[in-house]
C-alpha cells in the first residue's frame, strides 16, 4: 500500500515529464511581501494573469511592525514591500489581508486557523516554513520566486518527487516538554541535513496525543532537518480543529470531506524509504547552543566536548561557540540572558501564550530582560484577550505586541542588539538571524517564560 505522501502526491499529478520532473497541481498558494514582487513582475512582462486567483491568498507578515500598525511604516524598504503586495493583489484580483485587517497575521498561522489549509491539499508559498501546513494532513512545501510565478500562471509546479521518511515518537512526554522540544530533539539527532531529499511523516503516540498547535510547531521545523516538508495524518483532532472555520466545508460538503479525509493515512503495509523510531522518555526541555537548529542539548546537559565532534566538524563547532560566547562542556542552565521572544510561525499560537502565561502567572518579569510577546495573528490576539491571558501577562510585567513575524528575523524593527542573548521560540538561530551579532538560543514557550522570570536560562520544571 502506498504511503499517505504517495496518495496525496499521486492524486495531484498532472503529467510526468519523461526523464524530468512531475507537473503537480497546487490547491493553495500563499503569498507574502518578500518573495512575491518579482513573480508578479514576471506575469506582467509576459502579459499573463493568475490562472486561478481564487486559490491564491496574500498577506504581509515579515516586514510588518509590531506596534502602531495603524500608522505608515517608517522603514522605507519595509513600507515599499508591504505597499507593493497590496497593489499587486488588487491588480491581479487576489484576496489580500493587509495590516490591521482582522484576518491578517503570519501567513503560516492564518492559513490553518481560517480553514484555508485542509487535509489532502498541496500547498506552496515562497517561504521555507510552508511545511507548517503539513500538520493539517497536507503536502506543503516552500518554493522559490520563479516557482511562485509558475503557480500563479498555471496553478501547477514542476517538482521531482521526494523520498518518504516516517519518524515515530512513542510513549508519553514528560512534564514541561512541548512539541518544540520534540522538534529540537529530532534536529539534534538527524542534524540539519539528516532528512534532505525526504518528505517526513510524523507518527507514534506522542504525535497522536499532540494538539493541532503542537503538530503545527513540529511540522514547521521539518525544514530545519533538511526535509522538503513534514506532515501528520489527519484524525479526529484535525477534524475538530477545522470544523466551523471560515473556509472549512459546511453541511453536506463537510460530511463528504471528512469521509475522504479519513482515507488519508499510511496503511500497515506502506513502505517508506527510511524509518526512524524515538522514545518520548529521552526528550526533556531543550535549548540550542550554536548557530544552527541542530546544535541543541537538553537543558540540564552541557555543551558537547570538542573530542565528541567529528574532525570535519570541529572548525564549524568552534566558530559557532565563538559567535555565541560559549565554551565546550559549559553548562548553559543559569547563563544570564537579555531578551525573550515568544512568537513566530513556530510558536505564535494561542496554546503557546497559554503555556507562557502558566509559568509567569503571579510572578514578575526580571528587570534585566526585554520581552517581546507577539501573537501570530489578530485572531490569536483576540483569543488572548477573550481568555484573559493579556491580564495575566500585563500583571507580570509583559506587554503584548501586534501580530507579525517580529524578532524571528531581522526584517522589521524588532532586532536583538549585537552580543545580546535572546531565548527565542522562533525557528532559526543562524548568525545575525535576529539582528547583526545577536545570539539566539532556541527554546519552547515554557523555557522562554521561565527564563524571562529569572533572567537566565531556566528549566521550567523548577518554576
Q: What percent of the chain has pLDDT over 90?
A: 98
Q: Mean per-residue pLDDT for 94-106?
A: 97
- Over residues 120-165, the pLDDT tens digits come to 999 999 999 999 999 999 999 999 999 999 999 999 999 999 999 9
Q: Mean per-residue pLDDT for 206-228?
A: 98
pLDDT at 301 over 90: yes
pLDDT at 96 over 80: yes
| 18: confidence class by pLDDT, cuts 50, 70, 90 | confident
CA distance 180 to 211: 12
What are the cell numbers at 377? 495573528
Query: What's the pLDDT at 1?
Result: 63
- Over residues 257-300, the pLDDT tens digits come to 999 999 999 999 999 999 999 999 999 999 999 999 999 999 99
Q: Is 445 buried (19+), middle (13-18) or exposed (0-12) by CB count in 10 A?
A: buried
pLDDT at 19 over 90: no
Please state, rounded to an integer, the average pLDDT across all residues of the chain.
97
Query: What's the pLDDT at 213?
Result: 98
Nearest to 57 by CA among 35, 81, 31: 31
Cα 7 to its chain centre, rounded Å, is 24
H or E element that contains 76: helix 76-91
CA distance 170 to 160: 31
- Count how many residues are written for the chain: 463
CA distance 181 to 179: 5
CA distance 239 to 350: 18
3-state secondary structure 2-33: CCHHHHHHHHCEEEECCCCCEEEECCEEEECC
Q: Mean per-residue pLDDT for 170-178?
A: 98
Query: What's the pLDDT at 148?
Result: 98
Query: What's the pLDDT at 141?
Result: 98
pLDDT at 365 over 90: yes
H or E element that contains 264: none
pLDDT at 254 over 70: yes
CA distance 374 to 406: 7
Query: What's the pLDDT at 17?
Result: 87
C-beta separation of 309 from 317 below 8 A: yes
Nearest to 412 by CA among 81, 31, 57: 81
pLDDT at 66 over 80: yes
Q: What percent of the chain has pLDDT over 70?
A: 100
b/e code 406-416 from CB counts within 10 Å (16+ = b): bbbbebbbbbb
CA distance 216 to 132: 5
Question: Between the CA of residue 329 and those of 212, 282, 426, what are the distances in Å?
Answer: 36, 20, 25
Angle made by CA atoms 32, 107, 295, in degrees to the nearest 5: 100
Amino acid at each position: 500500500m502506498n504511503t499517505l505522501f504517495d496518495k496525496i502526491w499521486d492524486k495531484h499529478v498532472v503529467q510526468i515529464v519523461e526523464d524530468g520532473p512531475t507537473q503537480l497541481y497546487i490547491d493553495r498558494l500563499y503569498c507574502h511581501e518578500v518573495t512575491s514582487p518579482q513573480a508578479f513582475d514576471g506575469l506582467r512582462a509576459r502579459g499573463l494573469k493568475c490562472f486561478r486567483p481564487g486559490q491564491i491568498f496574500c498577506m504581509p507578515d515579515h516586514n510588518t511592525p509590531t506596534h502602531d500598525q495603524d500608522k505608515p511604516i517608517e522603514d522605507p524598504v519595509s513600507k515599499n514591500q508591504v505597499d507593493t503586495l497590496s497593489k499587486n493583489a488588487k491588480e491581479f484580483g487576489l484576496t489580500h489581508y493587509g495590516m490591521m485587517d482582522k484576518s491578517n497575521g503570519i501567513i503560516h498561522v492564518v492559513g490553518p486557523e481560517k480553514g484555508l489549509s485542509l487535509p489532502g491539499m498541496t500547498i506552496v508559498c515562497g517561504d521555507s516554513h510552508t511545511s507548517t501546513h503539513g500538520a493539517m494532513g497536507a503536502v506543503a512545501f516552500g518554493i522559490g520566486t520563479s516557482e511562485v510565478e509558475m503557480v500563479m500562471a498555471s496553478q501547477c509546479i514542476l517538482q521531482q518527487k521526494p523520498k518518504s521518511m516516517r519518524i515515530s515518537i512513542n510513549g508519553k512526554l514528560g512534564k514541561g516538554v512541548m512539541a518544540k522540544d520534540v522538534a529540537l530533539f529530532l534536529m539534534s539527532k538527524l542534524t540539519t541535513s539528516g532528512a534532505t531529499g525526504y518528505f517526513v511523516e510524523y507518527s507514534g503516540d506522542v504525535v497522536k496525543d499532540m494538539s493541532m498547535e503542537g503538530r503545527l510547531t513540529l511540522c514547521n521545523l521539518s525544514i530545519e532537518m533538511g526535509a522538503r516538508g513534514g506532515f501528520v495524518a489527519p484524525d479526529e483532532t484535525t477534524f475538530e480543529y477545522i470544523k466551523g472555520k471560515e473556509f472549512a466545508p459546511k453541511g453536506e460538503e463537510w460530511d463528504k470531506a471528512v469521509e475522504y479525509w479519513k482515507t488519508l493515512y499510511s496503511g500497515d503495509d506502506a513502505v517508506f524509504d527510511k524509518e526512524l523510531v524515538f522514545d518520548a522518555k529521552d526528550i526533556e526541555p531543550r535549548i540550542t547552543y550554536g548557530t544552527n537548529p541542530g546544535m541543541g542539548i537538553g537543558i540540564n546537559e552541557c555543551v558537547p566536548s570538542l573530542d565528541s565532534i567529528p574532525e570535519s566538524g570541529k572548525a564549524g563547532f568552534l566558530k559557532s561557540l565563538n559567535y555565541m560566547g560559549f565554551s565546550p562542556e559549559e553548562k548553559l542552565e543559569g547563563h544570564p540572558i537579555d531578551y525573550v521572544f515568544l512568537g513566530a510561525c513556530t510558536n505564535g499560537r494561542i496554546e503557546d501564550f497559554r503555556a507562557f502565561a502558566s509559568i509567569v502567572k503571579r510572578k514578575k518579569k526580571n528587570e534585566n530582560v526585554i520581552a517581546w510577546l507577539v501573537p501570530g495573528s489578530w485572531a490569536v490576539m483576540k483569543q488572548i484577550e477573550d481568555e484573559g491571558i493579556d491580564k495575566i501577562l500585563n500583571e507580570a510585567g509583559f506587554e503584548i505586541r501586534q501580530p507579525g513575524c517580529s524578532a524571528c528575523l531581522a526584517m522589521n524593527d524588532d532586532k536583538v542588539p549585537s552580543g545580546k542573548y535572546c531565548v527565542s521560540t522562533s525557528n532559526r538561530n543562524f548568525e545575525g538571524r535576529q539582528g547583526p551579532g545577536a545570539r539566539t538560543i532556541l527554546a519552547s514557550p515554557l523555557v522562554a517564560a521561565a527564563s524571562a522570570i529569572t533572567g537566565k536560562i531556566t528549566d521550567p520544571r523548577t518554576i
